Chain A
């Protein structure tokens, strides 16, 4: 599929490189006008956004705050079998009324003028609506039905809560496509989930860089010496990259190998064949999913990474914060029926991930450095030729095909 490139026009004179699929200009990371357009067309457009895990809300009235795009939102258990996602913005004056991360209440009340909403976002109470002693009050044509909180469309899919601002978003399963439905349900298989804990970090890099990072298996065995050394993710292992038909979602699949030098290792400068762990319990890995794969890193465009790296399971939510940064919210989880040993194993392996992770800290650092390099040269471009110019699934990881797929889809949505 060949998408024509919009010619430079008006104030936006920036051109896309001639090597359409295999080069991306740095202004995609740095241009505030492009970012503003992304919020409308991508984050508030026809895409499902990750909100949280269903198990974070157990009782009716439990709620959790989050941010979708740049909009503060609340995810609420509004009924025994119902989860609502509403904007955390009072219809009256725009107050972000829920301030804590989590809470429990019978209704949602704004502290400013005490407007109150049902848990599903319906406006219920407006103090002095009919005035006091026949003075003041709202006009007679004020109808509470017209002033509920902005309600998002919601789907709860095998324990994960998804929401979208757009009426045009297809149902979640269709949004994933059948191939990715299979990848998704490999780990999110309908078993009950439980939270193990959170990590939160601000990464000073454009949000797309995080998506790219987990669509790029080329870096995993090179930047991450820990991965390469202990055989968790390496170029010479049997692996695969899959992308959906639109090119927007991706998965990196691999299987754990041993700590041994091989021919491919000669290209990895930092491979440490003599590195020994004093207490190797952090690498006490068990095979728990069907098949031989030990890694399945899924990117669901645009908002989340679903991580299965050996026994460490996380959702990593991307919250864009302007063109040059994003907040990264990690939720580590386990299955509700996990043994205490398995829970301990998962929390131990968490040492590899998050802001202090043996592996993930590398990513945060290198994303910041990329943003620094891009900032001064918005009209230069980066090279996306590893594995050729094709956009198709591969059975190896020496490729940037999934990144090419994302940018082809991105240009389509952005009309560029």
Chain B
């Protein structure tokens, strides 16, 4: 990851655009475009709140690199079996919680709603996202994204990423 100090200041509009694009890609199930929102050595976690608060690092989904995110997509598209479903994500507005020369920390809430065939829509995740964003080359990328979910009991499978 290269950080250009002169371009380090990351604006609010840019952050907003990043999230619009990120959630757009996921809602459209354009999974192969998803890993590119992350830096090469990123950390991605979808973790139960009870683990997060206890200091456990055991996650429901975890990737320690963009490569592992790509593997998650490969697993999903080429090996896993699951009933068809729609996921739609409802993020709240991003709130900048910290900013330094290299990165900006952003926090927002996230609801992920799942719709299965013949079923009413259901909340599959109710979460808060702790993200750290950097300028990586010519675009913004997540260097860290920790999705901490309150949901105590996942309705069966968590198929797509958050």
Contact = CB atoms under 8 A, between A and B. Distances in A.
Interface of A: 101, 195-204, 223-226, 229, 270, 272, 275, 277-279, 281-282, 327, 332, 347-348, 350-351, 354-356, 358, 361-362, 364-366, 368-369
Contact of B157 (A200, A226, A348, A356): A356
A352 to B, nearest CB: 9
A224 B79 CA distance: 7
A197 B49 CA distance: 10
B110 to A, nearest CB: 16
A365 B84 CA distance: 10
Interface in B24-71: 46-48, 50-51, 54, 56-68, 70-71
Nearest to A204: B156
Contacts, number: 125
Contacts of B54: 197
A364 B157 contact: yes
Contacts of B154: 199-202, 355
B156 A203 contact: yes
Given A275-B79, A362-B80, A200 B48 contact: yes
Main secondary structure on A side of the interface with B: mixed
16 contacts: A195-B56, A201-B157, A204-B156, A225-B79, A225-B80, A229-B79, A270-B79, A281-B64, A347-B62, A348-B62, A351-B59, A351-B61, A351-B62, A355-B156, A365-B82, A365-B156
Contacts of A358: 75, 79-80
Contacts of B153: 200-202, 327
B58 A332 contact: yes
Contacts of B66: 278
Size range of the chain B interface in the assembly: 35 or more
Contact of B75 (A195, A226, A281): A226
B155 A347 contact: no
Nearest to A225: B79
Most buried by B among A204, A327, A350: A350
B64 A365 contact: no
Contacts of A101: 50
Contacts of B159: 356, 361
B98 interface: no
B139 interface: no
Contacts of A224: 79
Contacts of A282: 68, 71
Contacts of A198: 48, 50-51, 56, 58
Contacts of B68: 278-279, 281-282, 351
Given A225-B80, A358-B80, 5 more contacts: A275-B74, A282-B68, A351-B68, A361-B159, A365-B81
B17 interface: no
B59 A202 contact: no
Contacts of B62: 347-348, 350-351
B71 A356 contact: no
Contacts of B152: 200
Nearest to B118: A372
Nearest to B54: A197
A347 B47 CA distance: 12
